Amino acid sequence: MTSSSARRVPIEAQKVDAPLTSSAAFLVVTVNDGEDAANTVRDVLSGIDDITKNVGFRDLDAQLSCTVGIGSEVWPRLTARPAPQGLHPFTEFSGATHTAPRTPGDLLFHIRANRQDLVFEFERQLLDELAGAVTVVDETIGFRYFDARDLLGFVDGTANPVGTAVGESTLVGHEDATHAGGSYVVIQKYLHTLEQWQALTTEQQEAIIGRKKADNIELDDAETGQKSHKTLSTIVVDGVEHDILRDNMPFGSPGTSTFGTYFIGYSRRLWVTEKMLERMFIGDPPGLHDRILDFSRAVMGCTFFAPSADALRGLGDG
């Protein structure tokens, strides 16, 4: 198979490291009461490949994909398979100044493509099939901003693992063999006060983030006192650094002065993402929270598990 033809195949289902795209939709829903609703959801999730192929074949180079996450509370309604060992509702962190809130959400659909019309059409067909079975909690449309920067002006996702480290960091393995190949997913929605952020000097912004704004070069870690966002979100245990995979996207509406970042992190070990949030909101040491939170307010927080493609298809077996 040539490299050209290799690109022209649909992206496999539940591929958490699908390519970074120019457009995305983050759809969070709750499953309505009743066995009929659960049956509908089960059937739609098990056949999500069909929607992906139906929409994606219009332009295979647009790299349409959808990753489905399932929350802990709805898990027993959809399958008799035991829940992943680490899956639980989003852990709310309340520091002296800022809070990471927990908000409702049974299912997450992370829809990605390099064409917004494909993202739109996929979501339309998905919700048509789910009609009457779910209630939409949140729909956020993201876009790629300049050279992979967030609306604060800094390159986002620099710390993502690459190569063989991606699977090691994101996919459950032998430690929970029943759910091997799946991934824990944490989402948060942040709203920025851009006017206040832009009032800072570039040097002040760089000290908060921990990187140079223009060229993304890391700054040295502070040895004591206030730590940067980069340092607080780096988790090292017994000399080993534990990574997660981020596919954050900016979103917003200048007309309504809405500016934000949608955080989504995939991880093999849920505690790694939770430790990052604890350090950000509580502080390390406690009281010295991540100063990015003074300009970025968390308004959503949910935890899901994205099962392997085979496990997702197996939901249709009842």
- Reported confidence tier of residue 7, pLDDT bands at 50, 70, 90: low
Domain membership of residue 198 as a residue range:
3-317
Side chain identity at residue 182, one-letter code = G
- Reported confidence tier of residue 221, pLDDT bands at 50, 70, 90: confident
- Reported confidence tier of residue 79, pLDDT bands at 50, 70, 90: very high
Distance from the first to the final alpha carbon of the chain: 37
Average pLDDT over residues 124-134: 98
pLDDT of 230-282, one tens digit each?
999 999 999 999 999 999 999 999 999 999 999 999 999 999 999 999 999 99
pLDDT of 162-172, one tens digit each?
999 999 999 99
Average pLDDT over residues 127-154: 97
Residue 4 reports pLDDT greater than 50: no
What is the number of domains present in the chain? 1
Q: Of the candidates 133, 135, 159, which has an alpha carbon nearest to the alpha carbon of residue 36?
A: 133
Strands (E) located in 115-272: 134-143, 183-192, 235-237, 240-242, 245-246, 249-253, 258-267
Residue 149 reports pLDDT greater than 60: yes
Query: DSSP string covering 225-265, please?
Result: SSPPHHHHT-EEETTEEE--EE--EEEEEGGGTEEEEEEEE
Catalytic residues: 156
pTM: 0.95
